[in-house]
């Protein structure tokens, strides 16, 4: 049996601080807020005894920071995988996004594997309604499932969490889309199903912050 934990990144600085974009070098690449960092550490504490062997993360800063803070509690290597990235909507991004270098991020999160080569490179722009994200997520899944692991964590965004779930199960029923929410998927033969999902592991949730 193999287990995949799906997680959306933690709470974003641009939501907590609406003026963040005004001085940001890359306004499309927000970091975590202080609340988001707490969420990520809570998630790491919860996963610490779940035998996580590898963490695959989107290349966006908020996802890498989430993965890095989780890895500080749930010791595992981090692989930056572009196939898990945000929907590359042309209204959100002026062009193909430029990401922070893995070598730069490794200074803050030493478990990042700088020799990992992304298995999938998304094309810009993407149209979610046309199925671009689902096709990209399926290609990512096919590549990552060929790696050697039994239990892993994939950190992405609402679009990629949904795309991954649909590609694995054919639907998103039971999947948690809240920031730092977790969905545990287990396989039985070639079938994947939701074993658990939710935000009970968090001391503060997105729903509470937005209330």
**CATH number of the CATH domain containing 48:** 3.40.50.1240
Q: Tens digit of pLDDT per residue, the chain (211 long)?
A: 899 999 999 999 999 999 999 999 899 999 999 999 999 999 999 999 999 999 999 999 999 999 999 999 999 999 999 999 999 999 999 899 999 999 999 999 999 999 999 999 999 999 999 999 999 999 999 999 999 999 999 999 999 999 999 999 999 999 999 999 999 999 988 899 999 999 999 999 999 999 9
Tell me what pLDDT residue 188 has. Answer: 82
Residue 159: name the closest of 195, 186, 134 by CA: 134
**Alpha-carbon distance 174 to 26, whole Å?**
34
Tell me what pLDDT residue 189 has. Answer: 81
**Burial tier of 53 (Cβ tally within 10 Å: 0-12, 13-18, 19+):** middle
Per-residue pLDDT tens digits for 38-72? 999 999 999 999 999 999 999 999 999 999 999 99
Query: How many domains, in total, are found in the chain?
Result: 1
Helix (H, G, I), strand (E, B) or coil at 79: strand
Note down the domain range covering 182. 3-210
**Burial tier of 130 (Cβ tally within 10 Å: 0-12, 13-18, 19+):** exposed
């Amino acid at each position: 049996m193999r287990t995949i934990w799906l997680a959306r990144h933690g709470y974003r600085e641009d939501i907590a601080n609406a003026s963040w974009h005004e001085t940001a070098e890359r306004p499309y690449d927000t970091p975590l807020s202080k609340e988001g960092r707490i969420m990520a550490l809570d998630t790491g504490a919860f996963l610490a005894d779940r035998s996580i062997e590898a963490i695959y993360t989107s290349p966006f800063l908020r996802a890498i920071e989430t993965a890095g803070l989780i890895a500080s509690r749930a010791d595992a290597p981090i692989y930056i995988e572009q196939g898990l990235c945000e929907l590359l909507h042309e209204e959100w991004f002026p062009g193909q996004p430029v990401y922070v270098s893995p070598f730069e991020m490794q200074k803050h999160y030493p478990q990042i594997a700088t020799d990992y080569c992304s298995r999938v490179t998304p094309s810009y722009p993407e149209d979610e309604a046309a199925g671009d994200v689902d096709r990209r997520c399926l290609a990512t899944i096919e590549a990552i499932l060929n790696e050697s692991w039994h239990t892993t964590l994939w950190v992405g965004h609402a679009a990629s969490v949904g795309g991954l779930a649909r590609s694995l199960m054919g639907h998103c029923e039971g999947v948690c889309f809240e920031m730092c929410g977790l969905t545990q998927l287990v396989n039985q033969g070639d079938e994947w199903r939701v074993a658990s999902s939710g935000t009970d592991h968090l001391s503060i949730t997105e729903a509470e912050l937005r209330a």
